């Protein structure tokens, strides 16, 4: 008997919860050797999501609902799910059924071969806007070029993790959490299975372009100091260029007596260097802000109530 915990973050997904539970129950009904626990994490939903989660009653499914005190974000909801999941293997999965539950059976087969992490790798992004898919690919390339450890491309939170991996993740103390990076950081023996990302069964995505941009910044600053280091090299480059330009001006004045007009060049130089300094200060502010929030040592989330089947 294998105990499987599915971590399901929920934010205003009342219409999707019923179809999700039906699909999961149908997938695992022919496998009595797999005991399924649904760990719903209610991330401050303002609709009827909590009532829909509590109404889930399916043979073979044990339901636990972690009701957070407010909306803390998906990364915090995943953290709450990892803290409360009791399975031998744990799988974070979206309630909108873009992650097909059938793929979990393939993941379990890989786990039985000895792999401790089995990644769900998307083979297409047809259900997403074209621009979002391209920007996601660009983010993965940029992150993997400047940060360590590398994040597998086209892999989200949908993955199977052995109990040892979950216990390792529970030891990580940071408050500002980029879960894709943390999943990669802990390591362990890893395999992957491919799947096609399906359209949402109901509702709409809560990730706007602005949220995704901030999420990307969070990912880069969590696992790389390259944005800070690059300004050292940029400063050296600008200083060398200024020195070369100064030598040219002195040569022109002393040898040829050329009068060098300065208003336009001075205006451009001041604005260019001022803009560069402000960008550098902004990047330093991102890292300083992370240290500020980490130093407070606030909990990642707060639980209002835990509902679970007897």
User: What are the tens digits of pLDDT across the range 104-155?
Assistant: 999 999 989 989 999 888 887 666 666 666 666 777 777 667 666 777 777 8
Domain ranges of the chain: 2-133+154-208+303-308, 226-296
In tens, the pLDDT along 154-204 reads 787 888 999 999 999 888 888 778 777 788 888 888 888 888 877 766 656
Q: How confident is the model at residue 220 (pLDDT cuts 50, 70, 90)?
A: low
Q: How many whole angstroms separate alpha carbon 275 and alpha carbon 281? A: 10
CB-count exposure of residue 156 (10 Å: 0-12, 13-18, 19+) = buried
Please provide the CATH number assigned to the domain covering 2-133+154-208+303-308. 3.90.550.10
Asked if residue 207 has pLDDT above 70, the reply is no
**pLDDT band, residue 41 (cuts 50/70/90):** very high
Give the chain's mean pLDDT.
79
Q: Indicate whether 214 pLDDT > 70.
A: no
């Amino acid at each position: 008997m294998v105990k499987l915990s599915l971590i399901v973050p929920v934010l205003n997904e009342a219409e999707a919860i019923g179809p999700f539970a039906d699909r999961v129950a149908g997938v695992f009904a022919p496998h009595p050797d797999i005991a399924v626990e649904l760990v719903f994490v209610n991330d401050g939903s303002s609709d009827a999501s909590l009532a829909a989660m509590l109404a889930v009653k399916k043979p073979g499914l044990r339901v636990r609902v972690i009701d957070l005190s407010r909306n803390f974000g998906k990364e915090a909801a995943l953290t709450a799910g990892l803290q409360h999941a009791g399975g031998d293997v744990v799988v974070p999965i979206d309630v909108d059924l873009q992650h097909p539950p059938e793929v979990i059976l393939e993941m379990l087969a890989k786990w039985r071969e000895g792999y401790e992490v089995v990644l769900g790798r998307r083979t297409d992004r047809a259900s997403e806007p074209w621009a979002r898919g391209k920007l996601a690919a660009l983010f993965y390339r940029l992150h993997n070029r400047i940060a360590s450890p590398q994040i597998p491309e086209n892999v989200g939170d949908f993955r199977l993790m052995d109990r040892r991996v979950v216990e390792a993740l529970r030891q990580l103390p940071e408050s500002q959490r980029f879960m894709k990076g943390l999943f990669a950081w802990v390591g362990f023996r890893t395999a992957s299975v491919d799947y096609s990302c399906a359209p949402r069964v109901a509702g709409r995505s809560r990730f706007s372009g602005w949220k995704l941009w901030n999420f990307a910044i969070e990912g880069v600053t969590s696992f790389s100091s390259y944005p800070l280091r690059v300004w050292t090299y940029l400063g050296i480059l600008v200083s060398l260029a200024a020195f070369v330009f100064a030598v040219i001006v002195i040569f022109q004045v002393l040898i040829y007596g050329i009068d060098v007009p300065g208003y336009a060049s001075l205006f451009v130089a001041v604005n260019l260097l001022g803009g560069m300094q402000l960008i550098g200060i902004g990047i330093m502010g991102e890292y300083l802000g992370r240290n500020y929030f980490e130093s407070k040592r606030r909990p990642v989330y707060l639980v209002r109530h835990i509902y679970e089947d007897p």
